[in-house]
Amino acid sequence: MPSGSSHSDIPRHVAIIMDGNGRWARERGLPRREGHRAGAESVREAVETCKEIGIKFLTLYAFSSENWSRPKAEIKALMELLERFLKKKAPEMHRQGVRLHAIGRLESLPKSCRRELERVIEQTSSNQDLDLVLALSYGSREEIVDAARQLAREAAEGGLDPESIDCESFAQRLYTSEFPDPDLLVRTSGECRLSNFLLWQISYSEIVITRKFWPEFKKTDLHQAVEEYARRHRRFGAI
């Protein structure tokens, strides 16, 4: 069985590419930042729904390495939104038993945002009900390059035999080393791309694409995605 996959109808780990905030806003004649603000509300609801369903890990693609090329004002709005979200929602997440993690080149984030992130990660570190992983300044190719660099460093220092490198030791150097691989990958807004998200980790994941924009993705949509996963899963088990 591939690492991280589960025999249950409930996926243990769900990863989501939250797409379509901008288009949701445009359709309503609103500025893009309003789409992101509404998207943050869907994040809150997704966390709550994962807890209800019994999903143990939720990874959200919140800001990609490529997103740095967006207009400065949009980047600033996104970073401020993230900081506000952390400040406002941390107590509720803490109460819900959520443990926060962040993956990506976090050193690129604004200082105040990073401080807030570190504070909530520390505050929630002993919670056990749901591991929420925010991918921030994240790119899967960059992550793989960072892992390769790490292995090369260890080999050059003499502690690692290059011939001993295998999938497991490689995965141990990825940002996600402490999490199981996602069982289910959801992407909103109908795009059929992976966009540099968890390329290594989703090798065996089921992929569900919904046409809904992320701000419209609510409780029932996540339930439907999990039902779709369960249907495929049952077919997979059949002869």
What number of other Cβ atoms are within 10 A of residue 108's Cβ?
Answer: 12
Binding ligand FPP (rule: CB under 6 A), the pick from 5, 11, 15, 39 is 39
Q: How far apart (Å, rounded) are the C-alpha atoms in residues 189 and 20? A: 5
Residue among 172 and 195 whose Cβ is closer to ligand FPP:
195
With tokens 């949509």, the residue in question is: 221
Sign of CA dihedral 35, 38, 42, 47: positive
CA 3 to chain centre: 18
The phi, psi pair for 196, rounded to 5°, reads: 65, 35
With tokens 């502690």, the residue in question is: 159
Does 67 participate in binding ligand FPP (rule CB under 6 A)?
yes
Query: Site map for ligand FPP, 172-211, x if CB under 6 A?
Result: ----------------------------------------
Does 81 participate in binding ligand FPP (rule CB under 6 A)?
yes
Minimum CB–partner distance for residue 100 and ligand FPP (Å): 10
Does 165 participate in binding ligand FPP (rule CB under 6 A)?
no
The phi, psi pair for 233, rounded to 5°, reads: -65, -40
Residue among 39 and 173 whose Cβ is closer to ligand FPP:
39
Residue among 13 and 89 whose Cβ is closer to ligand FPP:
89
Q: Do 21 and 41 form a contact (C-beta atoms < 8 A)?
A: no
Does 82 participate in binding ligand FPP (rule CB under 6 A)?
yes
Binding ligand FPP (rule: CB under 6 A), the pick from 14, 15, 18, 102 is 18
Q: Do 86 and 118 form a contact (C-beta atoms < 8 A)?
A: no
Does 11 participate in binding ligand FPP (rule CB under 6 A)?
no
With tokens 């309003």, the residue in question is: 34
Does 140 participate in binding ligand FPP (rule CB under 6 A)?
no
Residues found near ligand FPP in the complex (CB under 6 A): 18-23, 36, 39-40, 43, 60, 62, 67, 81-82, 85, 134, 214
